[in-house]
Structure formats: C-alpha cells, structure tokens
Amino acid sequence: MTARAAGSSAPPALDVRGVTVRFAGLTALDGVSLTVAPGSVHALIGPNGAGKSTCFNVLSGLCRPTAGTVRLGDAELTRLAPHRIAALGVARTFQNIVTTEGTVADNLMLGRHALSRAGFTAGALRLPRAVREQRAHLAAAREIAELTGLAPHFDTPVALLSYGDRKRVELARALCLEPRVLLLDEPVAGMNAAERARTAEVVGDVRARLGLSVLLVEHDMGLVMRLADQVTVLDFGRVIAHGTPDEIRRDPEVLRAYLGTGAPAEEDTA
C-alpha cells in the first residue's frame, strides 16, 4: 500500500471552528463547529439546503468562509487553495460523477498526478527516473483498484461501467491522492440496494486498512447508522445536534428537522 495512506501514525484531527459562510446576505453556514477524530467515520447530515455541501466546499478550498477556521492537525487550511489542501492530505468526491474519458487506470493515474516528482520534461523524454516513478504510480493505482473492487475493470473504459462502478472510480481516484482525510459527498446517491451495500463495504474496508479519517455526507440513514462513529446534524446552516448514531436517531431536534415531528423515524435500507 502507498506510503502516506498506509503509514503507521494516525491521521491528524480535522477541526472546524465557528465557520460562517454568507452569500449576498444569505447565511449558508452559521458558526459551524465539528471535529473529525483521527481514524473515525464522521457523518454530516441534514435536510436539503442545510449547508452540507457548502461545508464540504469550505473544507476542500472551493469556498472561503466569512469567519471561522479549519485546521488539519497543526496546519491551517482556512484560506488555502484546493491543490494545497489536497497536498496536505484532504481528498474529496462530489455528488455528481466526475470522471474523464479513458480507462479506470487513466482516471486513477490522474489521482496520482499530484504526487509526481519527476517533472513534465523528464516524463516527456522518458528519462529513467520518470519511467520508474510512472511504474510505481501505476502499481499504487492497481492496489487501490483492488481495494475498491475495481481490479477486474482496471483497463476498461469508464463509459462502459455501471453507475455504481463509476461512482467507485471517483472514490478510488480520491484514494490515489493518499489522503489522510477523505471527504465523501453522497457516495451512494442514485445507487440500487446492491450497489449501496457494496460501496458501504468498501468505505469500511478503506477506513480499516488505510487508517484514514472519513467525513461523510449522505442521505441514506441506514448507511450512516452502520458506518459512522459520530454524527453532526445541520439545519439551516446551524449545528442542531452532535453525537453517536444511536443518540442522533432519538434526538427530538433531529426528528423535527427531518419530519416535523418528535416521532422516531424508520431507517432507510442500504
């Protein structure tokens, strides 16, 4: 397994403190604070429009907050560009599938690009050090494909894959960056029951084998309850609850936000 992803040391905590985001007078996030503990799966849930994707955009550098801070261990991420945040070990997926034309291998190798050291000229001239590095990156991409169940499709054009497999290509490409924290934005959205179950299994395996932290945005409450160690709930840009899955599923504020009632909700199946 790759050096940074499989390192023996635990990843640093991802600490979000008092993050506020305003767009033309609209408050998308209002003083949001949460901590993703090292090596944990932390779910960020809430109704549509609660601010979950805006929070992810702040964490990955696509959106700068009006106030508040984001830290990964000792590193301040709050106003860094996305590529610098990725270089520090934060990778993300998106709600919609974002893949390029070409094979699974081609897409995974894009994830390795940020880790390349040989340089464009050495690669273009096929200098020995560039060739060695390319082979090492390809071997690492194969390992990630194996871990995510994509090994049989490694040389298959992405356009020929099922929807569920294409979603996992995006997950695998993010893993190829060797992240310490993985941001998963609705990883099972649009999948059928079998695909959801397979993806949930992959996320659990990735966390266990690579030792990274996962921050998960997901509407499938069955998956959240099975995978998450901690859950933070947003509503209208504010944190209304935080706790274990069992605590969250019984929290009256959470039930009111989702259902407008204090009655317990039935879980979705995954």
Does the pLDDT of residue 78 top 50, yes or no? yes
Does the pLDDT of residue 5 top 50, yes or no? no
Beta strands 14-23 and 67-72: pairing type? antiparallel
- By mean pLDDT, which of 139-153, 194-208, 246-260 is the weakest? 246-260
Domain(s) of CATH 3.40.50.300: residues in the chain: 1-50+61-89+179-270
Mean pLDDT computed over 13-18: 98
pTM of the model: 0.85
Highest mean pLDDT out of 17-21, 83-87, 215-219, 250-254: 17-21
Does the pLDDT of residue 227 top 60, yes or no? yes
- By mean pLDDT, which of 16-20, 216-220, 252-256 is the weakest? 252-256
pLDDT in tens, 137-171: 899 999 999 999 999 999 999 999 999 999 999 99
pLDDT band (50, 70, 90) for residue 3: very low
Tokens 């809430």 belong to 46
Distance, CA of 19 to CA of 193 (rounded, Å): 35
Quick one: tokens of 118?
Answer: 């040989």
Mean pLDDT computed over 216-228: 91
Strand partners for 92: 183
Beta strands 238-243 and 75-76: pairing type? unpaired
Contacts 24+ apart (CB under 8 A), 47-50: 47/235, 47/257, 47/258, 49/236, 50/234, 50/235, 50/236, 50/237, 50/257
Quick one: tokens of 130?
Answer: 């560039």
Distance, CA of 260 to CA of 248 (rounded, Å): 15
Tokens 């200098």 belong to 127
Residue type, 204: G
- By mean pLDDT, which of 67-71, 163-167, 263-267 is the weakest? 263-267
Q: What is the CATH number of domain 1-50+61-89+179-270?
A: 3.40.50.300
How far the first Cα of the chain sits from its last, in Å, is: 29
Distance, CA of 80 to CA of 59 (rounded, Å): 10
pLDDT in tens, 114-134: 666 655 444 544 556 666 777
Residue type, 38: P
pLDDT in tens, 24-34: 889 999 999 99
